Amino acid sequence: MTRPTRATIDLSALRGNLAVARQHAGAARLWAVIKADAYGHGLMRAAGALEDLADGFALLDLADAIALREAGFRQPILLLEGFFEADEIPLLAEHGLTPVVHTLEQVEMLTSAALPARLPVYLKINTGMNRLGLSAEEFHAALTALDTLSCVASVTLMTHFADADLERGIVWQMARFDEAVQGCDQAVSLANSAALLRFPEARRGWARPGIMLYGSSPFPQDESAEALGLRPAMTLSSQLIAVQDLAAGERIGYGGIFTAERPMRIGIVACGYADGYPRHAPTGTPILVEGRRTRTVGRVSMDMIMVDLDGIPDAGIGSPVVLWGEGMPVDEVAAAAGTVSYELLCALAPRVPVIETNG
């Protein structure tokens, strides 16, 4: 018998979620963010599903960008961390890639580059995220330098929001951005998923939807993915492979951290942290068995999870289980585990077979 754990990727959900992003984008064009192997959904799989809908693809790795080009994708491709060494710059021009420039050192590398074609670049301003980006003072020097380079075809201005999913919002960063770019006439790229959905003033130029494409809410504590019109693109599923009857007072799993308060039926699911399920998920993490909500109990093992079968009398060996996805929002599982959906989706293990569907 083949181990029943598998991930089902719904390509129609990916396309539908991009359509939701498009509804919110107004006149803005859309970079579909497919970094980190498309948030665990598969780089080529996601690019193929979104090829006719996205205006471009945004990712991190040069090797992934070149692989997309070699696979025949001709949309613009944005490298969100830009380049790291000067010898990468000719490859960017050769393959028609757009790097994000976020340091003066990168500007200096471009100044010395001899390229086979002119290169569009994004110039990133740090407006308070304090991760990547130039200060307002550095920005003006960098923009002046880039405008003089014959190897630079165009410059688009960008920033990244730290609090678009939180109460603080984006007003403070928008004010800093607008002050820094006053008098500039370049195109801009501002909105991530949260800003695209919540802040119309950020829908300028090019937006960069990421997590929403995969059917997760950017602000799950306030508004569910379903309420936003998003559908899960990944469903991680398995089956029960054993059932145990516990007497009151008996413990289960490593460390015996769960003790039965009463006689209980416990199901054993063929899925664990080696499949990408979070090991730190506590007792009470929601899960579906036979289409009904129940909870995990005890410590997550490498290959197995234990679940409470109270109220599901027909559950037994072979019963279907949904860890997250269709019918069990990944945001709820992530919240119970004290993390975010991004981590769960990106952690899908290579050993898990993937099945593609179209709805």
Looking up residue 260, the CATH number of its domain turns out to be 2.40.37.10
Give the model's pLDDT for residue 317. Answer: 98
Name the residue range of residue 121's domain: 11-214
Give the model's pLDDT for residue 330. Answer: 98
Residue 249's pLDDT band (cuts 50, 70, 90): very high
The reply to whether 316 and 171 lie within a common domain is: no
Tens digits of per-residue pLDDT, 150-174?
999 999 999 999 999 998 999 999 9
3-state secondary structure of 294: strand
Contact, 271 vs 285, CB < 8 A? no
Residue 6's pLDDT band (cuts 50, 70, 90): very high
Tens digits of per-residue pLDDT, 186-234?
999 999 999 999 999 999 999 999 999 999 999 999 999 999 999 999 9
Catalytic positions, written as ranges? 35, 254
The reply to whether 207 and 238 lie within a common domain is: no
Say yes or no to pLDDT of 116 above 90.
no
Tens digits of per-residue pLDDT, 24-34?
999 999 999 99
The reply to whether 252 and 187 lie within a common domain is: no
The per-residue b/e assignment along 17-28, b for 16 or more CB within 10 angstroms, e otherwise, is bbebbbebbeeb
Q: CA-to-CA distance for 169 and 113, rounded, in angstroms? A: 39
Say yes or no to pLDDT of 356 above 60.
yes
The reply to whether 273 and 154 lie within a common domain is: no
pTM of the model: 0.95
| Long-range Cβ contacts of 100-108 (<8 Å, 24+ apart) | 100/124, 100/132, 100/158, 101/142, 101/146, 102/126, 102/132, 102/133, 102/134, 103/134, 104/134, 104/138, 104/141, 104/142, 106/82, 107/142, 107/145, 107/146
> Domain of 134: which CATH number?
3.20.20.10
